[in-house]
């Protein structure tokens, strides 16, 4: 999973750099995916350890950052595309970049967790969830 996180970080860094230069290097906010990518790349590097507790810590941090990178740019892109009549070319480029970042971070969340639900990831046929009692 650390490898998936590192690859996602590299893809986000490339995405930020490409859009930064597509906008003529005039809009530093185009580098926001690159900043997320740097953090994810560092989390993936730190999670590359034989110590399972350390791996769990850094992968949880990476998934949380990926979730933030999915939610905020995703809502921003949807909001911008819903108001498509008022989109200038620069805003359309920014909304497209936000949408691509949201998709990349959503894919990270799906593959890093290995499940679409946190509850589904807790149990397995070999190790079922504990029975809850109301005593």
User: 126 in a domain, yes or no?
Assistant: no
User: 133 in a domain, yes or no?
Assistant: no
Domain that holds residue 11: 2-113
User: 94 in a domain, yes or no?
Assistant: yes
Give the whole-number percent of the chain exceeding pLDDT 90.
10
Nearest to residue 96, comparing CAs of 104, 41, 64? 104
User: 132 in a domain, yes or no?
Assistant: no
- Residue 125 confidence class, pLDDT cut points 50, 70, 90: low
User: 122 in a domain, yes or no?
Assistant: no
- How does pLDDT run across 17-59, given as a tens digit for each residue? 998 888 888 888 888 889 999 999 999 899 888 888 888 888 8
Crossing angle of helices 89-113 and 32-46, rounded to 10°: 20
Q: Which two tokens stand for residue 38?
A: 């740097």
CA distance 1 to 54: 13
Nearest to residue 65, comparing CAs of 97, 98, 37, 46? 37
Q: How many domains does the chain have?
A: 1
Q: Helices then strands (H, E): number in the chain?
A: 4, 0
User: 125 in a domain, yes or no?
Assistant: no
pTM > 0.85: no
User: 20 in a domain, yes or no?
Assistant: yes
User: 12 in a domain, yes or no?
Assistant: yes
**CA torsion, points 112, 114, 118, 121, in degrees to nearest 10?**
-130
CA distance 67 to 107: 10
């Amino acid at each position: 999973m650390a490898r998936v996180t590192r690859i996602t970080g590299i893809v986000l860094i490339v995405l930020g750099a490409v859009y930064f230069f597509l906008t003529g290097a005039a809009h530093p906010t185009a580098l926001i995916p690159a900043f997320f990518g740097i953090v994810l790349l560092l989390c993936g590097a730190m999670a590359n350890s034989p110590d399972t507790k350390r791996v769990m810590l850094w992968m949880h941090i990476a998934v949380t950052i990926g979730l933030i990178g999915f939610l905020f740019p995703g809502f921003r892109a949807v909001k911008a595309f819903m108001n498509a009549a008022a989109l200038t070319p620069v805003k359309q480029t920014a909304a497209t970049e936000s949408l691509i970042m949201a998709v990349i971070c959503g894919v990270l969340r799906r593959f890093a967790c290995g499940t679409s639900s946190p509850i589904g990831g807790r149990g397995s046929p070999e190790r079922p969830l504990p029975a809850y009692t109301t005593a």
